[in-house]
Each structure stands twice: as structure tokens, then as C-alpha cells.
């Protein structure tokens, strides 16, 4: 026999297990806030924007289609040069950074802007000033290496990297909101699980629900009288002969 669960039953479960739901939700909020503000270190991002321009000679003042295609191909090539050991090693040496090339490379992201001849160098660091310094130095060393390797000077810095004022990571609001939702879902799941596993009889409705027995009547229960009765029974449990 399948039991039909009504909305009222869900509301009763929510109210009955409200402490469990609230406890898990509040715990999730406190833990996530503690991690976000006191455990996870803030990480700053700084970026510089570069443009790959074609070499012009003589009276040329316009772009041809094949020149644009070549410039876009160069952008992809330059991405690899930026991430190369040669460029990164020189930046590490210039700024006296205490890290290897592999570790340093993980802090750098090169974004190729679609349908353009531009690229963005993004650097992450726990120190905002150092993040900007690294981004600008990468752009400088990169332009030097392109000039040395390809014997052309076609890199233009559109935007220099500025010192960020706000951390990019962690996103504290997102973490706390996500943790709140997870805590709420966990609390609801735990509440329904406890309700499902709890087969004790607490109300007249439970008798009909779990035992399938139709009640003929209900005897009122006086909690205060019951307490007195238990105390009276306990007192009368001592034989009178021992008190005389």
C-alpha cells in the first residue's frame, strides 16, 4: 500500500526537523566564511594588452586581407613565445623571483582576443604590486625576444598592467552562497532521512499511518499528572515494613 504524501506532511517534517536544517545550514555558512576570510589567501590578477601590428613600408597606409591573416597567425605563434622557457627565465631573473619556470608558467594566462590581432597577458600573484610588475616585464621581454628572433618590431602595448586593488580569488560571496545552498540541501536530506528511519509512534495519526489500525478513540494525556504518578509509584515501591 503506497502512502500519499501531501504538502502538509512536508511542512510538518520541515517544522519538526527545523533544528537539523538550521544547524547544518548555519554550520556551512560559518565554515565557508571562515575558509574564505581566514584560510584561503587572496590572489590578485593584473593584465596587459598587446597588439600585433604588421610591418609597413613606403607609402602603404592600408591593411590587406592577407596581412590581417598573417597577423592573426603571428598572434598564435607569439602565445607560445610568451610561455617559452627563454622569456620566462629572463623575467624570473629580472625580478629576482624565487620560483622555477614550471611554477611560474602556472601563474600566467595568455588570452587571444577573437577576431582581433590582440592578446592579453594575465598574471596571478598574492602580491598585487608584483602581479602588475610581472605582467609588464613579460610584455617587455617578449617584445625584445620577438625582435631578436624574427627581426621585426611589431609589438605594441595597448594597456600597461595596473596594480589591482581587489583580489580576483577567492570569490567569497560565491563560496558562501554555494556553501549555504549545499548546507540547506544537506539539512533537508538529513531531515527527510531521519524522518524516514524514525518509525516510532508519536501521534494518533501515526497509528493509522504505520499500523493500518483505525482508532476508535483517544485518551487524553496529562503530562503533569503522569509525572506525579511516576513519582508516586516510585515512592510506593519501597516496602512499608522497612520504614517502620
Residues 176-196: tens digit of each pLDDT: 999 999 999 999 999 888 878
Name the residue range of residue 18's domain.
7-34+171-230
User: Is 243 part of a structural domain of the chain?
Assistant: no
Binning pLDDT at 50, 70 and 90, where does residue 74 land? confident
130, 55: one domain: yes
Cα 77 to Cα 241: distance, rounded to the nearest angstrom: 106
Q: What is the tens place of the pLDDT at every residue in 8-24?
A: 778 888 888 899 999 99
| 74 shares its domain with 111 | yes
Q: What is the pLDDT of residue 196?
A: 80
Q: How far is CA 38 from CA 32, 116, 182, 238, in A?
A: 10, 41, 21, 61
- Based on the domain organization, do 68 and 98 belong to the same domain? yes
Query: Which runs of E-coded beta strand occur in the chain?
Result: 44-52, 108-112, 118-125, 155-159
What total number of domains does the chain contain? 2
Q: Are residues 130 and 203 in the same domain?
A: no
Phi, psi of 243 (to 5 degrees): -90, -10
Q: Please indicate whether residue 207 or residue 86 has the higher confidence score (pLDDT).
A: 86
155 and 48 share a domain? yes
- Residue 204 belongs to some domain of the structure: yes
Residue 108 sits in a domain whose CATH number is 3.30.70.1130
Question: Looking at 159, 193, 212, which one is the last position of a domain?
Answer: 159
E-assigned strand segments in 174-235: none
Is there a single domain that holds both residue 182 and residue 152?
A: no
Q: Do 111 and 195 lie in a common domain?
A: no
Domain assignment present for residue 71? The answer is yes
Amino acid at each position: 500500500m503506497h502512502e500519499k504524501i501531501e504538502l502538509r506532511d512536508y511542512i510538518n517534517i520541515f517544522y519538526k526537523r527545523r533544528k537539523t536544517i538550521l544547524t547544518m545550514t548555519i554550520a556551512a555558512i560559518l565554515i565557508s566564511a571562515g575558509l574564505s576570510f581566514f584560510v584561503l589567501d587572496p590572489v590578485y590578477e593584473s593584465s596587459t594588452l598587446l597588439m600585433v601590428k604588421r610591418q609597413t613600408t613606403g607609402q602603404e597606409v592600408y591593411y590587406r586581407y592577407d596581412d590581417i591573416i598573417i597577423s592573426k597567425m603571428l598572434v598564435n605563434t607569439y602565445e607560445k613565445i610568451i610561455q617559452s622557457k627563454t622569456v620566462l627565465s629572463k623575467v624570473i631573473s629580472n625580478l629576482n623571483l624565487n620560483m622555477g619556470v614550471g611554477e611560474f608558467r602556472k601563474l600566467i594566462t595568455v588570452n587571444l582576443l577573437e577576431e582581433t590581432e590582440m592578446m592579453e597577458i594575465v598574471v596571478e600573484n598574492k602580491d598585487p604590486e608584483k602581479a602588475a610588475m610581472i605582467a609588464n616585464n613579460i610584455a617587455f621581454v617578449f617584445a625584445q625576444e620577438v625582435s631578436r628572433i624574427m627581426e621585426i618590431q611589431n609589438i605594441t602595448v595597448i594597456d600597461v598592467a595596473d596594480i589591482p586593488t581587489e583580489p580576483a580569488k577567492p570569490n567569497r560571496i560565491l563560496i558562501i552562497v554555494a556553501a549555504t545552498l549545499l548546507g540547506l540541501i544537506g539539512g533537508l536530506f538529513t531531515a527527510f532521512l531521519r524522518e524516514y528511519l524514525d518509525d516510532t509512534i508519536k501521534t494518533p495519526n501515526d497509528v493509522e499511518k504505520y499500523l493500518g489500525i483505525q482508532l476508535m478513540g483517544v485518551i487524553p494525556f496529562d503530562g503533569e499528572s503522569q509525572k506525579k504518578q511516576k513519582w508516586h509509584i516510585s515512592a510506593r515501591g519501597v516496602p512499608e515494613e522497612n520504614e517502620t
